[in-house]
Every structure is written in structure tokens, then in C-alpha cells.
Amino acid sequence: MVFIDITAEPAEQDGTTILEYNLASLIGLAGDLKGILAIQCPGAVAMGITEAMLGMEVSELDGDVKDAIGEIANMVAGGLKEGMLPAGKKIELAIPTTVIGTRVRTSGLSGASRLLIPFTCPLGRFGIELRYILS
Amino acid sequence: MNGANNFSEINDKIIESTIEIFTGMVMMEISVAGEPLVKLGPLKNSITGMVGLAGVQKGVLAVHFPKQLALDVTGSFLGMEVTDIDADVQDAIGEIANMLGGNLKTILSDRGKDIQLSLPSTIYGEEYAFSSQAEVDQVILPFQAPSGLFYVEIELER
């Protein structure tokens, strides 16, 4: 859908690694798995993904980038929702929210588990972070 | 549709519960600081607590504090001194978003049964813009606290 080859690096469970990013799209998860899923991208990666996905040139972190990365957050969360169904776990999704800025950090509630999966693509690295409590 | 106009009932109830939470739990006097806004510029040196709403009504509730006010709120809420944005501040600000989200859930649906909240999360940084995807109605309620202004933002999917 995005037409970019990406490689997943080993997932980190409850680690402390923090990826540098300028844009994060976050989506809340409710139900049997409560949490928040975030796609975290350096600006260049977010713009490159948007260009590949929408087939247009992008030169700044604008509304198109926000929508593209937000849509990826939505799709990844949707995949997680589908993936948890066979295990009998129901997840409801909130709406994606995007944060664009400099030296931004996000964090969850203490007590939640954290999973971070860094990905490498020709444009650089980006991360998918899940903070959650599974009931 | 103009978000601010359609929110009047929700606004009143959220204002009421924000004041209740601050007076009764944070132990800080606050007041409404003007009319609701529909848009907020970039946030500088701030921390945002947010919680997602899922189910029959999807959305996000966020509360944006400038750093010093966030430290004061945490100090007063937890009864301890805090000097930087640490895990206590993140938890306190996340918990305020969570309490407001719980109230919003109850306002939006009878006893809040068919709406569920996500876990609260916090965002902080030197400068950032916070926005949802296109198809939402949003409103931003400004409040005055002793050491600064803060905003409660509600975004609801149409």
C-alpha cells in the first residue's frame, strides 16, 4: 500500500530505547487490551512515506503527512484488533492523533507494558510503539 | 458544521467537571478563561495528557499544560515537590486526562456503557502541534490557573 520495503529490527519489550522523531501518530486502544499505539517517524521518513503512499511530492510536515501517517497508525491498530480476535480479545479503536514538533516525547502510564519495534527503510528508521495493559 | 456551537452542552459539563477535579482533587482554584476556541497554535514547552474514546463514539480528550503549571499541578495533586517532567508528572497529567475522559464518556452516553477509554498517554516537548484526523468536531476550553493557562481539548469523530 505504501510501496516501500521495510525491515523490522528485533522487538524490544519493556526497554528504555527512545527513537528520535518529529512526528508521531497515536491511536488509543480500548477493550480487552487497553493502550496506545504510536507510529514515530523522523520528519524525512514521514515525508518519504507520504510521497510513496500518495504518489505526490511533499516538502514539509503538512496535513497530507499527518493524514498519511495517521492512516498507517489506524491500519496497524486495525491489524492488531484483527490479530487478537482469535485469542478472544476484543479491541476497540479510538481515532488517530498526530503530534508534530521538535524534541517531542511520548510516554504511557507507569504500570503499562511497552513494546517497541524499530523498522529500517531506505529513508531511515521509524518505530512502532505499543503501550498496553492486557486483561 | 461548526464544532464550537454544537458542543455547548458538552462544554458546560466538561467545564463543570474540570473545575470539580481541580478544586476537589488537585486542590487548585481555577476559572474559565474566555470563550471556547476551535483551534490551538503550536504548544511550547508543554505537556499534554490524552486519552482515546472508542466504541459508539470515537474521539480524543486532551489536556495541555505549560511546563511550570504541570509541575505545580503535579505538586499539588500528589502533595510532593517536582522540579522536572518526570514519571510522576506524566502519571499525574495522564490521570487528569483519564478523569476528564471518564466524565466525557458519561456525558456522551447513558452511564458511559458503550464507550470505552484507552490508556492515558502523555506528550511533551519544546514545541509541538497536536491535531487529529480530518473528520472530527473539536473544541478547546481555556482555563486560568494561578501559574498559567491550560486547555482542555475534545475531538469527536463525526
- Quote the cell numbers at residue B8: 455547548
Cβ <8 Å between A35 and B119: yes
- Contacts with A63 from chain B: Cβ below 8 Å: 134
A31 near B CB under 8 A: yes
Say whether residue A43 is in contact with chain B using an 8 A CB cutoff. no
- pLDDT above 70 covers what percent of chain A? 100
What average pLDDT does the segment A73-88 reach?
A: 96
Task: Give me the torsion for CA of A18, A19, A25, A30, rounded to 10°.
Answer: -30
Q: Which residue has the cell 475531538?
A: B155
Phi, psi of A124 (to 5 degrees): 140, -160
Q: What is the dihedral of CA A50, A51, A57, A58, to 10 degrees?
A: 30
| Confidence check: pLDDT of A19 > 50 | yes
Query: Mean pLDDT across chain A, nearest whole number?
Result: 92
pLDDT for res B54: 96
The pLDDT assigned to A111 comes to 84
Query: pTM for the whole thing?
Result: 0.92
Task: Per residue of chain B (158 residues), give pLDDT as tens.
Answer: 444 446 888 999 999 999 999 999 999 999 999 999 988 999 999 999 999 999 999 999 999 999 999 999 999 999 999 999 999 999 999 999 999 999 999 999 876 679 999 999 999 999 999 988 768 899 999 999 999 999 999 999 98
* Helix intervals (H) in A12-101: 43-54, 63-84
Which of B72, B140, B4, B61 lies closest to A26, judged by CA? Answer: B61
pLDDT at position B1: 42
Judge: B123–A29 Cβ closer than 8 Å, yes or no.
no
3-state secondary structure (DSSP) of residue A54: helix
Closest CA to B21 of B120, B102, B130, B118: B102
What ipTM, to 2 d.p.? 0.89
pLDDT band at A99; cut points 50, 70, 90: very high
